Amino acid sequence: MSARDLIDPESRVPLDAMLQALPGGVNSIPDIVQRRAVAKTMAAQRSRPEYPNVTKEDRTVPGPAGEPDITVRIYRPAGVPGPLPGVYYIHGGGMVRGGVELEDDSASLICDRVGAVVVSVEYRLAPEHPYPAPVEDCYAGLVWMAENAAELNVDPERLAIYGVSAGGGLTIATALIARDRGGPALSFMMPIYPMLDDRNETPSSYEITDVGIWDRAANIEAWEWYLGGKEADQYAAPARAEDLSGLPPTFIDVGTVDLFRDEDITFAQRLMRAGVPTELHVYPGSYHASEKYSPDAALSRRIWAARIDALKRALT
């Protein structure tokens, strides 16, 4: 049986349509520049919800010491008195593609439904900018957000960090850096199907080879580009971290038809053993980013409802 046979039927419809239009999926395009362009075009073709009560502002803020400035997009719920909870948002894309614009809908949804100020960071991408550039950009943006909490109308006691896929791995890595450098205090962490382990040794990393979204070959390639020949440490691949104590309360979700399934479940168990309050959701039939490809599916609605509920409980 193929892994694709295990996908939730409703969620599989847009996946099959995408693969019919582009056999092999976006990650089958060899050239990374072309791959990014095609992914951006496909994302632009999807219907996008409107959030009239959310305002947006792009701003250039200081990057890591001695490195270029970075761009952040700030989302604010209109007419909501503060100070408000803050959510620092890190986009996905396997460390090699993606951007603030491609996850504008998700950041807007969180801002609107949680009533939080969301700051989404545009970090540098591999292979042009391998590790540690992406995670150092993410940490610099978090420091800026925390230091400017008053101006942003953010309550510094209610600051969460959220990221999907590669952004989920960067979420945990950024939290580890904040812990180890005595940086911003985080009250909550929500890494969504996070990309955590460069070793590609789990059963699910061998099972997911033909789904067409984020399969084994794409993951191996992305890790090679991200590491750029360096050995992975805990800030590159958080699955390698030996000490998980002191991290903020955590919510993780992942699908059963996701290559990251087993590394995410293992990491959640390790957080629990380290004394970190951890909520784990594993969704039968969900593939990588299925809630983005099939936002109207009943499964996707359940996924988002659980995330929003957890953020509200943690922050409000």
Residue 290 catalytic? no
Catalytic residue among 104, 137, 258, 264: 258
**Residue 253 in contact with residue 247, Cβ under 8 Å?**
no
Report the C-alpha gap between 248 and 74 in whole angstroms.
23
Q: Is the Cα dihedral 192, 45, 121, 296 positive or negative? A: negative
> If 0-12 CB within 10 Å is exposed, 13-18 middle and 19+ buried, where does residue 118 land?
buried
Report the C-alpha gap between 113 and 130 in whole angstroms.
35
Tell me the per-residue pLDDT of 72-109, one tens digit each, with 9 for 90 and over.
999 999 988 889 999 999 999 999 999 999 999 999 99
Tell me the per-residue pLDDT of 211-230, one tens digit each, with 9 for 90 and over.
999 999 999 999 999 999 99
Q: Is the pTM of this model over 0.95?
A: yes
**Residue 142 in contact with residue 183, Cβ under 8 Å?**
yes
pLDDT band at 187 (very low <50, low <70, confident <90, very high): very high
Q: Check residue 206 and give its pLDDT.
A: 97
pLDDT band at 123 (very low <50, low <70, confident <90, very high): very high
Q: In the chain, how many domains are there?
A: 1
Average model confidence (pLDDT) across the chain:
96
Q: Check residue 157 and give its pLDDT.
A: 97
Residue 288 catalytic? yes
Q: Is the Cα dihedral 115, 101, 299, 187 positive or negative? A: negative
DSSP SS3 for 211:
coil
46: CATH:
3.40.50.1820
Residue 264 catalytic? no
Q: If you search the block for the tokens 């803050």, which residue do you land on?
A: 86
Q: Report the amino acid identity of residue 171.
A: T
SS3 content of the chain, % helix, strand, coil (to 5): 45, 20, 35
| Interacting residues of 65 by C-beta distance below 8 A, sequence separation 6+ | none
Q: Check residue 1 and give its pLDDT.
A: 73
Tell me the per-residue pLDDT of 43-62, one tens digit each, with 9 for 90 and over.
887 778 889 999 999 999 99
- Domain coverage including residue 190: 3-315
**Residue 225 in contact with residue 96, Cβ under 8 Å?**
yes
Q: Check residue 2 and give its pLDDT.
A: 85
Catalytic residue among 106, 165, 205, 286: 165
Catalytic residue among 105, 155, 288, 300: 288
